Amino acid sequence: MPTVIVATGNPGKLKEMQVYLTPLGWDLQLKPKDIDVDETGTTFMENARLKAREVAIATQQWSIADDSGLQIDALDGAPGLYSARYGKDDQGRIDRVLRELKDSPNRSAQFVCALALARPDGTIALETEGICPGEILTGAQGSGGFGYDPIFYVPSQGKSFAEMSRQQKETHSHRGIAFAQIMAQLEQLELG
């Protein structure tokens, strides 16, 4: 069973990736705590590549990384790369987005997930970007999920992320879309 290091210290992110990668039979492990990667990229893809590359080189193992966030058209793409730091907690981030959008008629937004897989020498073997188009609601709907899920509405599903079942969100989210795009290629890879 090949070992692949998930370029994060977040156990929740590891669990999320395991859902998508289970069919591959990989042994997914968190990056060692002593490896810190500065996310200095200017795009989600640059940050995903950076994390995958640096962790792969440091551990001399295959490494997979993602970088994701929310982009809101009326806010010129904000919060974007700063999605996780747009407030001190989930409610603070939601409140800030709603405050900044006010009564804007343009509620268009998208969640983006960039994925990168690096070989043990740091070269990028595969990458993709999943995009889930949606809209920002004027208030929270639903009690599931986390982060911006209660205010991110997916018109094709008629629900916010927070109203979706776990299976629906896994299929229709930016992360689900990214993994669906790359799974066939991952299945062809020889990690030995």
> What residues are labeled active site?
67
| Dist CA 33 CA 46 (whole Å) | 22
For residue 143, count CB atoms less than 10 angstroms from its CB and return exposed for 0-12, middle for 13-18, buried for 19 or more. Answer: exposed
Burial class (CB in 10 A: 0-12, 13-18, 19+), 164: buried
Q: Quick one: tokens of 188?
A: 């062809």
Alpha helices in the chain (DSSP H): 11-21, 44-59, 90-101, 166-172, 174-188
Site of tokens 């009326």:
74
